Amino acid sequence: MTTPVPRRFAAIAGLVSGALAVAIGMLLAAITEVVSPIDAVGSEVVDRAPRRVKELAIRWFETDDKLALRIGIISILAVAAVGVGVLAARRVWLGMAGIGLFGLVGALSAAHRPGESAGAALPSILGAVVGAIVLSRLVQPRPIEVPGPSKAPLGWDRRRFLVASGVAAAGAAAAGGVARALEGQRVSEIRQATRVPLPDTVIAEEMPDISPGAELFDETPFLTPNDQFYRIDTALSFPGIDLDLWSFEIAGMVDTPMRFTYADLLAMPQVERVVTLCCVSNEVGGKYIGNAVWRGVMLRDLLERTGVNPAAEQVYSTSLDGWTCGFPVAAAFDGRDAMIAIGMNGETLPLEHGYPARLVVPGLYGYVSATKWLSKIELTGWDREGYWVPRGWSADGPIKTQSRIDVPRTATVTTGKQAIAGVAWAQFRGIERVEVQIDEGPWQQATLAADVSDDTWRQWLLEWDPSPGLYLLKVRATDKSGETQTADQTPVAPDGATGYHMIRVKVV
Ligand SMILES: Nc1nc2c(c(=O)[nH]1)N[C@H]1C(S)=C(S)[C@@H](COP(=O)(O)O)O[C@H]1N2
Ligand SMILES: [Mo]
């Protein structure tokens, strides 16, 4: 008779075979360049998570929520793998079925991802098959061949188990390592391509005039450097991009559907515009906002070529990774500089920000307009809903007039002449006035930096010479339509937070 595998070791067997299944799945996915099983499941979780959970995740983890999600998935898998191992020690087939179930979830998730075909299911399936076989071998004690006359099975062999699971664990580590290296190589190849500078073809009179007076203080530069620009998207890994194969189409309610390659974009009149991009999930006083010089082709120029059916209501765009959004057709023609951007702050559009091309529409929150990794633009009715709309966000996403205090940066400052300063924005309308209130004092008008464009934030500054004490500072902005931002505090959902940014400062 054989003795059963001790529980502790059954747990190890589960962990090791689970890790091997995942690692082989990742490796095969990396080799065949399909979505990795973990990322596929992660993306399905992101897509299916209730809005509140997603909002909380963004708030808790800020832009590191992706790492947190991965760690979450791996922790759940690890706990499940332990359970699967313990089950397998009782009934092997139950353990194998357990691994198979996880493989199935990975396979279905991968095949369901936008841009993936049924073949994307294979890595998960093959990983699960290998994992299940290894698990069955590890937990089924086999008779030990003992040299000598007796062939009697001696039961579970701890040494043999440890060697076998050590080999399996090493295999998992190796497969996982190679998978990560391949993925890293894929991303760095794309990054390499983004380092190719764009040709010098921007029309001179279309260059932005960044006036010397745009900066009143240093803490928040007027232009946000690319590596400090906030990043918000649902992508767990970057979509595959081969510039030679990449193109996007403009279709739907147009006269002539057309496809544009990167070379087509480069051959068209290039412009540069300074536009402040802002996320609807930006809390009052938050950091999900940045200002950059965007270079590209005006959307209206492209739409003039395809022609637009007068019945079209929405410019609906889709990314390479299947994310979607839409904004009113009017926003392409009402004079605002909606563009297909291929450059950012003098560089080729970085991968994080949508290489090779993205939409930038002044005055609209990113979630309705700013599709990165652009793949398709369709002219549609409002029956098509962008990614966030069925998730409880407004179909219409004009940016609200807002202001933020950036200086003082610390909760405690020393007495003496200093500044209260920050930024204010009301893209497409422009900032007219910014006022600061200290405690319950009068609203004092702040000095405004040079007005570069209605589509950018404006720095503001108020001189301050406080005596020691505790102060409450508030700011409010008025846009050029004469509208002062509301003091009413509303949450970010469904269409952007409102209320005054306030900070408490102790002066010592
Ligand atoms: N493909 C894709 N594009 C996207 C998103 C996304 O999730 N996927 N998020 C949008 C949102 S909500 C915002 S606020 C902006 C942010 O752009 P950034 O990451 O370059 O700052 O991108 C938009 N474009
Ligand atoms: Mo956003």
| CA 341 to chain centroid | 18
Confidence of residue 362 (pLDDT cuts 50, 70, 90): very high
Write the pLDDT tens digit of every residue in 152-191: 445 678 888 999 999 999 999 999 999 999 999 999 999 9
- What percentage of the chain has pLDDT greater than the value 70? 95
Write the pLDDT tens digit of every residue in 306-353: 999 999 999 999 999 999 999 999 999 999 999 999 999 999 999 999
Specify the range with the lowest mean pLDDT, choosing from 91-100, 206-215, 242-251.
206-215
Q: Encoding tokens for residue 339?
A: 């563009």
Confidence of residue 436 (pLDDT cuts 50, 70, 90): very high
Containing H/E element for 13? helix 7-32
Q: Encoding tokens for residue 156?
A: 């579970």
**pLDDT for the residue numbered 84:** 96
Ligand 1 neighbourhood includes 232 CB (under 6 angstroms): yes
Which ligand is in closest contact with the Cα of 235? 1
Domains of the chain and CATH, by start? 7-193 (no CATH), 226-391 (3.90.420.10), 402-507 (2.60.40.650)
| CA 420 to chain centroid | 32
**pLDDT for the residue numbered 442:** 98
SS3 96: helix
Q: How far apart are CA 281 and CA 268, in angstroms?
A: 34
Ligand 1 neighbourhood includes 9 CB (under 6 angstroms): no
If you measure from the C-alpha of residue 37 to the centroid of ligand 2, how many angstroms do you get, rounded to a whole number? Answer: 26
Q: Which amino acid is at 53?
A: V
Ligand 1 probe mutation, 372, 375, 376, most atoms within 8 A of CB: 372
Nearest CA to ligand 1 atom 19: 231
Nearest CA to ligand 1 atom 7: 233
Write the pLDDT tens digit of every residue in 366-423: 999 999 999 999 999 999 999 999 988 999 999 999 999 999 999 999 999 999 999 9
Q: How far apart are CA 360 and CA 260, in angstroms?
A: 17
DSSP string, 429-460: T-EEEEEEEETTS-EEEPEEPP---TTS-EEE
Write the pLDDT tens digit of every residue in 51-90: 777 777 766 666 677 888 888 889 999 999 999 999 999 9
Q: How far apart are CA 391 and CA 50, in angstroms?
A: 7
Q: How far apart are CA 494 and CA 400, in angstroms?
A: 12
Q: What value does the mean pLDDT of the chain take? A: 93
Atom number of ligand 1 nearest to Cα 280? 14
**pLDDT for the residue numbered 144:** 55
Q: How far apart are CA 237 and CA 239, in angstroms?
A: 6
Q: Encoding tokens for residue 89?
A: 């020690």
Q: How far apart are CA 453 and CA 434, in angstroms?
A: 16
If you measure from the C-alpha of residue 368 to the centroid of ligand 2, how many angstroms do you get, rounded to a whole number? Answer: 8
If you measure from the C-alpha of residue 366 to the centroid of ligand 1, how many angstroms do you get, rounded to a whole number? Answer: 6
Confidence of residue 128 (pLDDT cuts 50, 70, 90): very high
Q: How far apart are CA 115 and CA 185, in angstroms?
A: 21
